[in-house]
């Protein structure tokens, strides 16, 4: 149990990654009246989890974990793993069609990377930071999470599970600031999604899609994320 505590710290909603500034298109649905209550928020998040968060970011966490294991342990295939990590970074970043979401993920990824490096300077993440500085990579929160979970010797499933939970929890907390639901209702929404998060994490750990097969099928949410920048007033950056 104690070995899990470092991971708990990293997914705490108070961890300063800047995620509180991003709704990734949810604000568009709130302002247009398409998400008006806790039930509709839960439905939106269910679609987000199964259609985008899990098959995209969850899969990236899994593969980042596997590749980082080889880099950290100086495996004979460590050089290939480094190249695969660079490709994974570009794939997850460029697969986001909405500019604000893409830029938001990069900002969160770089901030997360900086803080995790401060906490775990021996994790090897300086390599990833150097790839970003040399513009070989953009910076991905999911890759940092997978890498540090490998370093902390968590399981791949725990890595995916905690990343999915952190992403959903962040959006629930942001929704509380933007719509007329209370803290208790927000926690009920989050609690109602825990089984789905667990199932998606287990599925990904047992049968992950190949890195070249990452996908998102949340077209309406992607369009909402694109349209966010033209809203009359905005609380969030994305």
Domain count, the chain: 1
Q: What is the pLDDT of residue 13?
A: 85
CB distance 142 to 92 below 8 Å: yes
Say how many CA atoms lie within 13 Å of 237 toward its Cβ: 15
36 within some domain? yes
Q: Which residues of the chain have pLDDT under 50?
A: 1
2 within some domain? no
- Which residues form the domain of 183? 19-229
Cα separation of 127 and 71, whole Å? 10
163 within some domain? yes
160 within some domain? yes
238 within some domain? no
Backbone angles phi, psi at 124, to 5 degrees: 90, 0
| CATH number of domain containing 181 | 1.10.4190.10
Q: What is the pLDDT of residue 200?
A: 97
Q: What is the pLDDT of residue 127?
A: 97
Question: What's the chain look like in SS3?
Answer: CHHHHHHHHHHCCCCCCCHHHCCCCHHHHHHCCCCCCHHHHHHHHHHHHHHHHHHHHHHHHHHHHHHHHHHHCCCCCHHHHHHHHHHHHHHHHHCCCCHHHHHHHHHHHHHHHHHHHHHCCCCCCHHHHHHHHCCCCCCCHHHHHHHHHHHCCCCHHHHHHHHHHHHHHHHHHHHHHHCCCCHHHHHHHHHHHHHHHHHHHHHHHHCCCCHHHCCCCCHHHHHHHHHHHHCCCCCCCC
Q: 97: which 2 tokens?
A: 């069609």
Q: What is the pLDDT of residue 238?
A: 65
149 within some domain? yes
Q: What is the pLDDT of residue 22?
A: 79
Instruction: Give me the residue label for tokens 């989050």.
Output: 190
Instruction: Give me the residue label for tokens 């997850």.
Output: 92
pTM of the model: 0.94
Residue 230 CB coordination number (10 Å): 8
57 within some domain? yes
Q: What is the pLDDT of residue 226?
A: 83
Q: What is the pLDDT of residue 223?
A: 84
Q: What is the pLDDT of residue 98?
A: 85
14 within some domain? no
């Amino acid at each position: 149990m104690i070995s899990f505590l470092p991971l708990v710290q990293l997914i705490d909603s108070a961890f300063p990654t800047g995620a509180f500034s991003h709704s990734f298109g949810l604000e568009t649905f709130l302002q247009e009246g398409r998400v008006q209550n806790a039930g509709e928020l839960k439905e939106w998040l269910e679609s987000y989890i199964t259609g985008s968060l899990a098959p995209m970011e969850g899969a990236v966490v899994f593969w980042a974990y596997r590749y980082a294991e080889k880099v950290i342990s100086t495996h004979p295939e460590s050089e290939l793993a480094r190249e695969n990590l660079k490709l994974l970074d570009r794939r997850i970043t460029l697969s986001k069609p909405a500019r604000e979401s893409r830029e938001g993920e990069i900002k969160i990824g770089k901030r997360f990377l900086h803080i995790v490096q401060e906490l775990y300077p021996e994790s090897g993440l300086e390599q990833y930071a150097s790839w970003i500085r040399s513009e070989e990579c953009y910076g991905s929160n999911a890759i940092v999470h997978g890498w540090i979970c490998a370093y902390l010797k968590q399981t791949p499933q725990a890595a995916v599970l905690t990343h999915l939970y952190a992403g959903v929890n962040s959006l629930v907390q942001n929704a509380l600031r933007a719509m007329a639901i209370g803290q208790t209702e927000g926690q009920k929404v989050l609690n109602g999604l825990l089984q789905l998060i667990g199932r998606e994490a287990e599925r990904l750990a047992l049968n992950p899609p190949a890195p070249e097969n990452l996908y998102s099928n949340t077209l309406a949410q992607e369009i909402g994320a694109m349209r966010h920048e033209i809203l009359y007033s905005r609380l969030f950056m994305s």
